[in-house]
Structure 1
Amino acid sequence: MTTLTEEYAAWLTDFLPGDYYERYREYRWDIELRRAHQRAAFEAGWLQPTWPREHGGRSLGLAEAMEIRLEAAMRSAPKLPNVAGPGVAAPGIRQFGTPEQVDRLLVPLLRGDEWWALGMSEPEAGSDFASLRTRAVRDGDVFRVKGRKIWTTQAHLSKWCTLYVRTDPDAPKHRGISCLILDLESAGITIEPIRMSSISDETFCEVLLDDVEIPAANLLGPYNGGWQVAMSSLNHERQMIWIMNWVEIQRGLTCVRDAGTTHDDYASGEVFTELGSLLADAEAVRATGYRALNNELDGRPSPEGDILKLLGSQTLQRVWELAAAAAGPRSIDDTDLLFERQDGLAATIYGGTSEIQRNIIAERLLGLPKG
């Protein structure tokens, strides 16, 4: 009998071009292929495996869904062109949206027909999300919004944004936040892409909001309950990040091993010592991911999420730095290796910086006093 993982693998093989792996460095940037993959995955039920068919899934259990996602990552399935949509916005809309919001927004989002941005970080509220200052004031049937968002990935290409705003300035900072669904084509919005230092199709943007009107019907979740919406939505993203990091770590380790066939200094003791340490850390990431899954299945608190984010991103960065060391002088003009190193560095920033993750682990898991 064919397993679900085998069924998915066969489906992916049929979808991918015959020379996909031979030309992976080119195909990884092919936006049309990535768009087509998202649509096809939605229609086949592989996009959100735990969700019902009408929402791009097969109503699978968490363990089965993880195996599908691991298989997709290990097979280097085309990356979603707008990760924030299916990865963060969709779970929030599905969990907190009104029936009208779900009916209008969810399927176009999942199919990739409409892209989404996340209006969270601000110039003075990056990793400290609860310190956001963008203000929304209710005025009849609309909210009037003023403020700034920054590091808003792909805002210039997106139709919608989950915009987190302060609706009660007198409430404790975690409790006075609401989430609004913002049409990025509304009057009063200026979107300015930020110049990137690396090769990437996930451009950061700054979003300026000057007396923008948002219909009150676009409130997502409870009024002043935006913190809950954000944490629930980001939890889904965190579950995906460790899988992506683990697979990229494996690919980086393969590059280190392959460098041994062409670079004489590869066999140095320092390289071997670091390689051994990284092999162990890679297995620790995988084992911790499964432990987190088991806790979730049993309904137990799972502190592994914060540990996974820190361990996975730091290990990924170390892997690609070791790959550069193993490559020696050839790494200087290797644009692909440069991209991997920059992407590994980015992993320690997106989804919660390593510094913030250390604070969370120290305060919430170890019970240490705040500094």
Structure 2
Amino acid sequence: MTPADTRSEVAAEFAAWLTAFLPADYYGERYRHYRWDLGLRRDYQRAAFEAGWLQPTWPPEHGGRSLGLREAMEIRLEAALRSAPKLPNIAGPNVVAPAIRQFGTPEQIDRLLVPLLRGDEWWALGMSEPEAGSDFAGLRTRAELDAPDSTVFRVNGHKIWTTQAHLSRWCTLYARTDPAAPKHRGISCLILDLNSPGVTITPIRMASISDETFCEIFLDDVEIPVTNLLGPYHGGWQVALSSLRHERQMIWIMNWVEIHRGLDSIRRMRERACLHANTPSGAVQMRTLADEVTTGEDIFAELGSLLADAEALRATGYRALHNELAGRPAPEADILKLLGSVTLQRVWELSAVAAGPDSVADPDLLFERQDALAATIYGGTSEIQRNIIGERVLGLPKG
């Protein structure tokens, strides 16, 4: 963790602002309640936008302070370390907003960006499809013009794993607009009003507790105005890559903090277990745990390995930032997502081992383990990340 006395002035200013915003008992026993408090999370996003902390590198009218990348990373780390409220619609500010700001027309930016950043209008990402899975370039949803001078696209297709679509007003919909083009070309990004005729949204039943419900979107002759094209015609691949790059920069910071939170829980469990082992009943429980793990040292060995991986993740994140500031390629960015998500899963599985039989009856631990399972899926599956690393970093031929 970063010592408080090494923070920059702007990070310290943000920390003071966050402390003033949060309820006085936020870090106490009611934290579990606040973690799910949608009202608080909405208020936090709006307040962060108005104070310029939401997108620190952007100008004030877009929720920022025109800061540099280094200062922005310090603010994001500070927010994560202090368990700042989770944005209620993460895809909006972290994925869609950068795309609109970079590729949007002046009219699109003027109409859509501020309501998105304030949290007044939620957004979904129309990327994954049943037949394509993690192969984004294999999407089959079609957007066609009835004539070269047509003013609307006619869209037919099916999207899946579309987070919060049932609560969202808008969706960045990726569709194939040139079926004859190579796989990674001929895709366009369209801004879809989810209230449009022909759009059917069906939430997917979840096996775990979550505030980010997955949905299916069915598109039956949906008309989208040509003016809702985001970025170049047939240029949706570049829009998607740029959007996901912003998301993955946030993911490694989130994963790093969650890893440390899990490691802290493991240490607390081991400390309690050692104290309890001094009692007669405690000795029996320690023997039960020893049946599951060869020796207590096995847990500490894995704990040490995870601590090293956590610090490797942080160092790699800083190295990627340093290269970006220097204008050099940053291959480390492709590694961060994979290392962070795999390490996060290992942490919470070790936490379950450290808890022993008590883990079965601990709903919070069950939630953390289930939530960590998604880490190797969202923002690009680990399988796709390994392909990217093999091809772009190691120069291996495509499989």
TM-score range, shorter chain: over 0.9
Instruction: Verify: 1:271 aligned to 2:277, yes or no.
Output: no
| Separation in 1, partners of 2:344, 2:97 | 27
Q: What are the Cα deviations for residues 200-224 of structure 1, in whole angstroms up to 9, with x where unaligned?
A: 0100000000000001100000000
TM-score normalized by structure 1? 0.98
C-alpha distance in 2 between matches for 1:346 and 1:207: 20
Report the AA paired with residue 361 of structure 1: I
Look up the equivalent residue of 1:89 and give its one-letter code: V
Query: What code does the residue aligned with 1:231 have?
Result: L
Deviation track 1:89-122 (CA, whole Å, cap 9, x = no partner) reads 0000000000000000000000000000000000
Tell me the equivalent position of 2:331. Answer: 303
**1:257 paired to 2:285:** no
Counterpart mapping for 1:327-338 below 5 A: 327-338=355-366
Task: Please name the residue that 2:354 is paired with.
Answer: 326
Give the structure 2 partner of residue 82 of structure 1.
89
2:258 counterpart of 1:248: yes
Larger Rg: 2
Aligned partners of 2:201 and 2:126: how far apart in 1? 12
Q: 2:277 matched to which residue of 1?
A: none
CA distance in 2, matches of 1:255, 1:353: 27
Matching residue of 1:228: 238
Match of 1:4 among 2, 6, 10: 10
TM-superposed CA distance for 1:26, in Å, is: 1.1
Question: Secondary structure, in 3 states, of the residue corresponding to 1:305?
Answer: helix
Q: Which residue, out of 312, 322, 331, partners 1:294?
A: 322
Aligned residue type for 1:122: E
Structure 2 partner of 1:24: 31
1:369 is displaced (CA, Å) by: 2.7
Structure 1, 121-130 or 206-215: larger mean CA deviation: 121-130
Letter in 1 for 2:398: K
Alignment of 1:322-361 (within 5 A): 322-361=350-389
TM-score (norm 2): 0.91
The one-letter code matched in structure 2 to 1:206 is E
SS for the counterpart of 2:205 is coil
User: C-alpha deviations, 1:284-320, integer Å up to 9, x for none?
Assistant: 0000000000011011111111110000000000000
Q: Which amino acid in the other structure matches residue 155 of structure 2?
A: V
Q: What's the Cα RMSD here?
A: 1.2
Cα distance, 1:261 vs structure 2: 2.6
Q: CA–CA distance in 2 between the matches of 1:98 and 1:367? A: 37
1:282 matched residue in structure 2: 310
- Tell me, in whole angstroms, the C-alpha distance in 2 between the residues paired with 1:87 and 1:97: 15
CA distance in 2, matches of 1:303, 1:249: 22
Q: In structure 2, what residue type is equivalent to 1:18?
A: A
- Provide the secondary structure at the position in 1 that maps to 2:144: strand
Distance 1:174 1:10, change over 3 A: same
* C-alpha distance in 1 between matches for 2:16 and 2:388: 41
Identical-pair percentage: 79
SS of corresponding position for 1:261: helix
By how many angstroms is 1:365 displaced?
Answer: 1.3
Which of 172, 178, 184 pairs up with 1:168?
178
Query: Which aligned pairs between 1:43-58 and structure 2 lie closer than 5 A?
Result: 43-58=50-65
Q: Secondary structure at the match of 2:120?
A: coil
Kindly tell me the number of residue pairs found equivalent between the two proteins: 371
What is aligned with 2:276?
none
For 1:119 and 1:338, locate their aligned partners in 2 and report how far apart those are by CA, in whole Å: 29
Unaligned runs of 5+ in 2: 1-6, 274-285
Aligned to 1:15: 21
Give the Å deviation of 1:145.
Answer: 0.1
Letter of the 1:224 counterpart: H
CA drift at 1:53: 0.1
**How many angstroms does 1:2 deviate by?**
7.9
Cα distance in 2, alignment partners of residues 20 and 80 from structure 1: 16
Counterpart residue identity of residue 7, structure 1: E
Which amino acid is the alignment partner of residue 197 of structure 2?
A
Pair 1:136 & 2:143 matched: yes
AA of the residue aligned to 1:172: P
CA distance in 2, matches of 1:6, 1:299: 28
- Name the counterpart of 1:154: 164
Q: In 2, Cα distance between the equivalents of 1:93 and 1:357? A: 25
Q: Secondary structure at the match of 2:175?
A: strand
User: Does the residue aligned with 1:12 lie in a helix, a strand or coil?
Assistant: helix
- Offset of residue 126 of structure 1: 2.2
Distance 2:388 2:238 in 1: 17
CA deviation after TM superposition for structure 1 residue 38, in Å = 0.2
- CA distance, structure 2, for counterparts of residue 158 and residue 10 of structure 1: 32
Deviations 1:331-369 (A, max 9, x none): 001111011111111001100111111111122211223
Question: Displacement, 1:228?
Answer: 0.7
